[in-house]
Amino acid sequence: MTPAARFDRLDALRGAAIIWMAAFHLAFDLNHFKLLHPPHNFYSDPLWTLQRTAIVSSFLFCAGLSQAVALHQGQSGGRFWRRWLQIFDCAVLVSAGSALMFPNSWISFGVLHGIAVMLVLVRWMAPLKGWLWPIGAIVIALPQFVAHPFFDSRWTNWIGLATTKPITEDYVPVLPWLGVMCFGLAAGQWLLVHRPAWLQGALVSPLKPLAALGRWSLSFYMLHQPILIGMIMAYLHWMQ
């Protein structure tokens, strides 16, 4: 089978998102180990909460773009589900690792959990094409108007209709974030028909490393935090 052509600009966009994410997590880790002075509140300070929203949005938008490309290239169901299983397995590892480090606020439905669920939904929704824009807008707006205590437990808060945000280190529920992935899918479908060069065009040399990194985004996501935390802990041990 001939390998599918790479979309370097899309890969570079994904690469830029994971670099931003790594920088955010480095600051979070330094703060967690009391190496930021003065200490920051990553849970309420707009400097950090707005960055988190932008980073997650960029990841999910890229995931929607990627699904548009995959479907355009005729990705088989088997290949989709193999990739999906990798994401699901990594989500389980994230939950386990966070439970060890943050037992009172472990991650039960973070960004990888959300992506795993949302990828299945947007693949099913892909034939809706232009309707994805209004659907995405409704999905984003819905949690602002609909909430119920039934959705406050860990078993149900993944839907996104909880009355209060759960205490967890990462929380990316289906609502409203599915809307962002819908926008990415719709944008990708439009670009592939009307402006394919925006995704497929050549990159200037300085951006090519970003594209290479973007092709290994899942591996980078899984490895960067253990490496960063390990480096900080080694530094603290050396400074004793």
Report pLDDT for 160. 95
Query: What stretch of H or E contains 156?
Result: none
Report pLDDT for 198. 86
Report pLDDT for 132. 96
Q: Which two tokens stand for residue 90?
A: 């990594």
The predicted-structure confidence for 189-207, as pLDDT tens digits, reads as follows 999 999 988 888 788 888 8
Q: Which two tokens stand for residue 85?
A: 């299983």
CA distance 122 to 71: 11
Report pLDDT for 203. 84
Secondary structure, 3-state, 34-45: CCCCCCCCCCCC
Angle (nearest 5°) at CA 144 between 143 and 147: 55
State yes or no: pLDDT of 6 exceeds 50.
Answer: yes
- The average pLDDT across 81-89 equals 96
**107 pLDDT band (50/70/90 cuts)?**
very high
The predicted-structure confidence for 24-46, as pLDDT tens digits, reads as follows 999 999 999 999 989 999 988 99
CA distance 140 to 179: 5
Task: Count CA within 13 A, CB hemisphere, residue 111.
Answer: 21
> Which residue, chain included where needed, has tokens 């699904």?
67
State yes or no: pLDDT of 111 exceeds 50.
Answer: yes
More confident residue, 240 or 204: 204
The predicted-structure confidence for 50-68, as pLDDT tens digits, reads as follows 999 999 999 999 999 999 9
Q: Give the CA distances from residue 47 to residues 31, 54, 173, 217, in Å, rounded to whole numbers and listed in that order.
A: 14, 11, 22, 25
**4 pLDDT band (50/70/90 cuts)?**
low
100: three-class secondary structure by DSSP: helix
**179 pLDDT band (50/70/90 cuts)?**
very high
Average pLDDT along the chain: 92
**Exposed (0-12), middle (13-18) or buried (19+): which is 230, by Cβ within 10 Å?**
exposed
- Residue 235 identity: Y
Report pLDDT for 2. 45
CA distance 113 to 145: 24
Report pLDDT for 108. 94
Tell me the whole-structure pTM to 2 decimals: 0.91
The predicted-structure confidence for 159-178, as pLDDT tens digits, reads as follows 999 999 898 999 999 999 99
State yes or no: pLDDT of 1 exceeds 80.
Answer: no
